[in-house]
Amino acid sequence: MSSKSLSPTLPVQVTPPQLELSALSPAEVDAEVVALPVMPAGETGSLVLGPGAAELGETYDLLGVLEVEGATGKAGEVTSLPVTAEGSLKRILLVGVGDQQRTDFRRAGAALARATRDRESVVTTIVAADPAVALDPFVAGATLGSFDFHWRSGGPQWQPVGRIVLAEVGTERAAALARATAVALAGWRSRFLATVPAILKNPAWLAEQAEAVAKEAGLDVTVWDEKALAKDGFGGILGVGAASATPPRLIRLDYKPAKGARRAPTVVLVGKGITFDTGGLNLKPGEGMVTMKRDMTGGAVVLATMAALAAVGCPVKVVGLIAAAENAVSGSATRPGDVLRHYGGRTSEVTNTDAEGRLVMADALAYAVDQLKPAALVDVATLTGAMKVALGQQVGGYFASDDALAALLAEAAEASGEPLWRMPLADVYEERLASKVADADNAPGGPGAITAALFLRHFTGGLPWAHLDIASVGDAPADSFEWTQGPTGFGARLLLSWLGQDDPLAGVGDRR
Ligand code: BES
Ligand code: MN
Ligand code: ZN
């Protein structure tokens, strides 16, 4: 067999639905499905149907159907009613919107997406009643609830709905829709990248994806190959990648705002890009290894965020760094007891080759401090299993050296639907990092998420810094609203919510 026939080729993937605005009412839009919002019974004691229901209500007893089905109006509940009218309309969906908060609209959007798979088009008034609140989360839910990844010989099992028309929302919302779509697609992109199997996704492949993104988004891109990494002293990245048939890369992307770039401060984002984590010579057991293609989720988040910065009007300069390596096993692997010299000279004793993330992150953080004069540093990594034990699979953990930065990220997390909980950089555990031979031990024991954060802190130069440990939320155990079973790509929406603000550095480092 030629090597060509063995090289993996990803089949064509499904594409997210197209979203459109229309000032028309649902009855005036030609679509296969109409989806109307259902509000829970308030003081009136009866469910309330949203905009557009009056017209359809003349023909169909919508409230009667809801009553027969026992509908409550809770967010994401779908009551489906086949119709046999003339014209395109085949089905009416009545979608609960609960308390009409952001989370409710995200759920309603995702439920609509799941209920309209393989349909050509759906028109909905879910956003119409309160577009200022509903638009962003609805678009995120509808887009991500449509996500699928396949590598099947016969094509995908289903197609997302082709077109979602947001009825009774005027074109004055076009800019808001474009922005919401860019954020939702960033979530899609990072989920896609995290889902690609490591037979295809190696450090060089990730660098190619970054080059493609840079071209599309107008970013500058620099890639260090193994030779350049050695020349510049990136001993952590090289040590972790030493066993792999596909050598490591450091990827740098540069974004500048359209206006005021010269005086704008710089934010540096650093992502863990372990394209597969076997554990190295401290090999993971099978059940712990099976999801490790997604150990580059932090890198995927950084890449997807960089791609969308212009679309959200990010006012600061942003440099994205992705430390990409495959943590593999071979005769050239880094051994327990080996010492690695990081960028800038600090050394680590590798007492556990499975604590590889912090080794590559350390190099990238040290480079950022040395070369980029950041006003804030934010790193994103699927770093510790301990975070999953602490927070479960629906909340990410973060640490911050600066309270203003911590507050900005907490707010962004809440707004975007990617929840975070702040963890302590508890100095009392600092002494656990001690090594007999090097500046630090890479696997100092518990509390694992905290000692990992403390390990990284040594490379942050005392700058305002936040560390997002997303190991907890990197994998969704089941389909649930905007989450689809498997890698989540968690983090891009929250970073864009933060960096899309008027002043993402308000109060950070007490600048003012
Ligand atoms: N990639 C893992 C962390 C991880 C575990 C992510 C489970 C998602 C789910 C990381 O490289 C790792 O192996 N960490 C070790 C560190 C330990 C050896 C100090 C861990 O958490 O067990
Ligand atoms: Mn590991
Ligand atoms: Zn790892």
Position 27 in a domain: yes
Pocket test for ligand 1, best of 348, 384, 468 (most atoms within 8 A of CB): 384
Atom of ligand 1 nearest to the CA of 442: 19
User: What was the pLDDT predicted at 85?
Assistant: 79
Residue 199 has pLDDT above 60, yes or no: yes
112 plus 202 within the same structural domain: no
Kindly tell me if the per-residue pLDDT of 366 is higher than 70. Answer: yes
Binning pLDDT at 50, 70 and 90, where does residue 512 land? very low
Residue 479 shares a structural domain with residue 401: yes
Q: What is the DSSP string of 269-319?
A: EEEEEEEEE--TTSPPPHHHHTTGGGTTHHHHHHHHHHHHTTTTT--SEEE
Report the alpha-carbon distance of residue 169 to residue 457 in Å, rounded: 47
Q: What is the mean pLDDT of residues 223-243?
A: 99
Query: What is the helix (H) or strand (E) element at residue 340, kind and residue range?
Result: strand 339-341
For residues 409 and 299, what is the distance between their CA atoms, to the nearest angstrom?
Answer: 18
Residues 330 and 265 occupy one common structural domain:
yes
327 Cα nearest atom in ligand 1: 11
Q: What is the pLDDT of residue 4?
A: 54
Locus of tokens 């600048």: 511
- Final residue in a domain of this structure, among 125, 151, 169: 169
What one-character-per-residue DSSP string does 28-76 give?
Answer: GS--SEEEEEEEPP-TTSS-EE-TTHHHHHTTS-HHHHHHHHT----TT
Domain enclosing residue 308, as ranges: 196-499
306 and 158: one domain?
A: no
Q: Tell me: the pLDDT tens digits for 283-301?
A: 999 999 999 999 999 999 9
Residues in the chain: 512
Pick the atom of ligand 1 nearest to 277's CA. Answer: 1
Closest CA relative to residue 471, chosen from 354, 367, 336, 326: 354
User: Which of 291, 354, 356 is the pocket-test mutation for ligand 1 (most atoms within 8 Å of CB)?
Assistant: 354
487's CB contacts (< 8 A; 6+ apart) are 191, 194, 195, 291, 293, 294, 297, 474, 475, 476
pLDDT confidence of residue 7:
83
Per DSSP, the residues of 159-204 read ---SEEEEET--GGGHHHHHHHHHHHHHHHHHHHHHHS-TTT--HH
Residues 23-42 pLDDT 10s? 999 999 999 999 999 999 98
Taking only the tens place, the pLDDT of each residue in 368-407 is 999 999 999 999 999 999 999 999 999 999 999 999 999 9
Residue 506 lies in a domain: no
Q: How confident is the model at residue 511 (pLDDT cuts 50, 70, 90)?
A: low
Are 471 and 465 spatial neighbours (Cβ–Cβ below 8 Å)? no
For 342-381, letters b (16+ CB in 10 Å) and e give bbbebebbbbbbbbbbbbbbbbbbbbbbeebebbbbbbbb
pLDDT for residue 1 is more than 50 = no
Q: What single-letter amino acid sits at 366?
A: A
Give distance in angstroms: CA of 274 to centre of ligand 3.
6
Quote the pLDDT of residue 158: 98
* 67 CB-near residues (< 8 Å, 6+ apart): 47
Catalytic residue among 91, 173, 284, 432: 284
Q: Measure the CA–CA gap between 174 and 207, rounded to whole angstroms.
A: 33
174 assigned to some structural domain: no
Instruction: Give residue for tokens 């891109």.
Output: 221
Q: What is the pLDDT of residues 297-308, one digit of tens each?
A: 999 999 999 999
Residues 145, 224 within the same domain: no
C-alpha 211/C-alpha 221 separation (Å) is: 6
The set of protein residues with a Cβ atom below 6 angstroms from ligand 1 is 277, 295, 352, 354-357, 382-386, 388, 443, 448, 471, 474
Strands 163-167 and 475-476: unpaired
Average pLDDT estimate for 209-222: 98
- CATH code of the domain containing 32: 3.40.220.10
Q: Is the peptide bond before 257 cis (omega within 30 degrees of 0)?
A: no
Residue recorded with tokens 């979602």 = 164
**What are the residues facing 431 on neighbouring strands?**
none
- In the residue annotation, 358 being an active-site residue is answered as yes
Euclidean distance between the first and the last CA atom of the chain, given in angstroms as a whole number: 65
Q: What is the CATH number of the domain that holds 465?
A: 3.40.630.10
**Which amino acid would we find at residue 216?**
E
Supply the pLDDT for residue 16: 98
Own/partner long-range contacts of 479-482 (Cβ < 8 Å, ≥24 apart): 479/114, 481/76, 481/106, 481/107, 481/110, 481/111, 481/141, 481/145, 482/106, 482/107, 482/109, 482/110, 482/140, 482/141, 482/144, 482/145, 482/187, 482/417
The CA 389 to ligand 2 mean position distance, Å, reads: 16
Note whether residue 165 is domain-resident: yes
132 plus 225 within the same structural domain: no
Cα–Cα dist 33/78, whole Å: 13
Q: 264-278: per-residue pLDDT in tens?
A: 999 999 999 999 999
For residues 223-230, average pLDDT: 99
Q: Are residues 151 and 224 in the same domain?
A: no
Q: Domain for residue 188, yes or no?
A: no
pTM over 0.85, yes/no: yes
- Phi and psi angles of residue 449, each rounded to the nearest 5 degrees, phi first: -70, -35
Are residue 255 and residue 354 in the same domain, yes or no? yes
Considering 358, 388, 457, 493, which one is annotated as catalytic?
A: 358
